[in-house]
Structure 1
Amino acid sequence: MLLRGWRWAGVCLLRPGPGLVRGAGGAAAGKPVDLAYDVIDGKNTETPLVFLHGLFGSKSNFYSIAKSLSRRTGRMVVTVDNRNHGDSGHSPVMTYEAMSFDIQNLMDKLQLPKCILIGHSLGGKIAMTTALLRPELIEKLVVVDVTPSQTSSYTPFPKFITAMRAVTMDNDLSRSAARNQVEQQLLPYVEDTRIRQFLLTNLVERDGHYVWRVNLEAVANHMDYIMTFPKFNTPYTAPTVFLGGGNSPYISSKDYPEIKRLFPNSVIQHVPGTGHWIHAEKPHDFMNAICAFLGTS
């Protein structure tokens, strides 16, 4: 059953005040962005799973996986659109601290005392930031194909932004014709058909015009920051798994020292035969790894 909100076991959290979420040291972070989300009901009251997608993604990327995991584990599963993505609100700010405060605010809204955060790429860095800022909220952590390290040396995302910003779109076309027109313009920059189709999930019609629903301006303005990670000194000590693609460069041995410094109770695994989008390339292996981490068959 698809729901839009949830009250977990009748427990209310103490709210820090209208529109305010507390960060490290108790400092007010300002008003967070309201996030779009879907909730898949579960049969039990075990800690829910919360999925955070990667750059240019949306909550729909994990919807079929979320349904399967809810059936397998009996848990409630929440899929979330990060700020400036999907149906969530836009903001000119895209720091990991600000995006973490969005998640904290959503947990408060859904009255979740704790959750298990599962984040891919951008969502993985938001998840890590949230665990490091508010460890009492995160029972366990799953980080998918990203680390608390610099990633700009091998990421293709700046090229994708350039291609998407250069696209021109006619408005008197059907949706399929508009997608074909845009895909042809992306082709010289994005050779992989699967990645082009992924980027095209951001093409939507609004008020008779085709537009990108992802806030390209905000992403472009913060790309250098998005490729880094905030500095933390206090580790997150709860169970954590870093799940990398076997053919992906995003988690390598050079990242292990920083992973272990910030996440000392972590394990690092790779799914053979997958690239950066593990959940799309081998969804069953991806779900099996999560279930094994949760101790669920």
Structure 2
Amino acid sequence: MIFKSSIHRASTVFSSEVPQTLRKRCLSTVLPVELAHDEHIPADGNRSHRPLLILHGFFGSKRNWQSLSKAFMRDLGRPVYTLDLRNHGSSPHVRPMTYTHMAADVFNFCQKHSLRDISLMGHSMGGKVAMALALHPELPSNLLADLIVSDIAPVRAKASQDTVQHIHAMEIIEANNISTRKEADEIMSKHEKDPNVRAFLLTNLEITKAKPLKFKIPIDILKEGRPEIESFPYAPGERSWDGRALFIKGKKSKYINRHNIPLINQFFQQHQLKELDTSHWVHAELPNEYRKLIVDFITQ
């Protein structure tokens, strides 16, 4: 097995390989960025054929998927890539924070690494990025083999007060010039009661001995982009994708529900819907059951 971690700076020119329609949907002054990634390569050295790409959610990073990525590589015998989306993890900080731009970033990554027949998987915000790429009118026919979406629907949702509170807590943490993770957790606990969610959010802290705590993610850009993140770039009936798709719902989660399942049907007519007895964090709460659903789907 070969494991490699990589980070790249923002592109200085807009790649000629990005579809023309993606250019039209993007602001002309904004370029796709080269995304930081981790890769797990099977023993046969295959790096490009039938890989699994994993996209994290809002406030997440590729680090959240390390254990599952290794397991997927072993189970599937295929290369597995986990990406840091723009303004997350080790990827560049850049405006705007839209699904069209994030989809362009992922497409750019696929082209640069000569990937084909991809199983593209995303959780929450990452699921919307994956759907946005699948629905793109100039998606190459040999790029996507499977789409896997974890606990999110292709909807334009109302503002999440949880996300608003999380961003507000991060702003307070930075403004208070504190120096320990314990202090940060105390502030965050006033805005988020679940200790597991707090721990997840605080993985974004950059802790150094010489400076007050700061977050590695650009809070101002994420705050500015939050309304876009809660939206979706396509309206029902505007686009559809006829490939194989798996949607995994957390039974205790509201993100996929009886109101928006018909929208999933409109966009992805060949989809399957599976349910796990979890909240929104399906992959973290039942990782073995989650992994089995995905491996069975990809290999069926």
Which residue number corresponds to residue 42 of structure 2? 42
SS at match of 1:253: coil
Alignment partner of 1:157 is 2:158: no
Correspondence list, 1:71-220, <5 A: 71-133=74-136, 134=139, 136=141, 137-152=143-158, 156-167=162-173, 168-170=175-177, 173=179, 178-205=180-207, 208-209=210-211, 210-220=213-223
Q: What TM-score comes out, normalization by structure 2 length?
A: 0.87
Deviations for 1:4-47, whole angstroms, at most 9, x for unmatched residues? 58xxxxxxxxxxx8634524646465521121100001245550
Task: Name stretches of at least 5 consecutive residues in structure 2 with no aligned partner.
Answer: 7-12
CA contact (8 A) 1:38 1:80 kept: yes
1:79 and 1:192 mapped to 2: Cα distance?
26
User: Across the two proteins, how many residue pairs are aligned to each other?
Assistant: 279
Please list, as runs of the form range in 1=range in 2, the aligned pairs for 1:233-244 lying within 5 A after superposition.
233-244=238-249
Q: In structure 1, the residue corresponding to 2:260 is in which secondary structure?
A: helix
TM-score (norm 1): 0.88
Deviation, 1:270, is 1.0
In the aligned structure 2, how far is the partner of 1:155 from the partner of 1:294? Answer: 35
% identity of equivalent residues: 31
Quote the offset at 1:219 in angstroms. Answer: 1.1
Amino acid at match of 1:31: L
Cα deviations by residue, 1:98-142 (Å, 9 ceiling, x for unpaired): 000110111122121231110000100000001111262211100
**What is the aligned partner in structure 2 of residue 295 from structure 1?**
299
How many Å separate the matches in 1 of 2:164 and 2:201? 13
Question: Which AA in structure 2 matches 1:179?
Answer: R
Q: Report the alpha carbon displacement of residue 246 of structure 1 after superposing the two structures with TM.
A: 0.9
Counterpart amino acid of residue 3 in structure 1:
K
CA RMSD of aligned residues (A): 2.1
The runs of at least 4 consecutive aligned structure 1 residues that moved more than 6 Å come to none
CA distance in 2, matches of 1:165, 1:154: 17
CA change 1:247–1:211 in 2 (3 A) is same
Q: Which of 250, 256, 261 is the aligned partner of 1:256? A: 261
Alpha-carbon distance change, 162 to 21 in structure 1, aligned in 2, over 3 angstroms: farther
The alpha-carbon deviation at position 279 of structure 1 amounts to 0.6
Matched to 1:144, the amino acid is S
Q: 1:203 to 1:154 in 2, by over 3 A?
A: closer
8 Å contact kept, 1:124–1:146: yes
Q: Which letter maps to 2:292? A: N
Secondary structure of 2:38 counterpart: strand
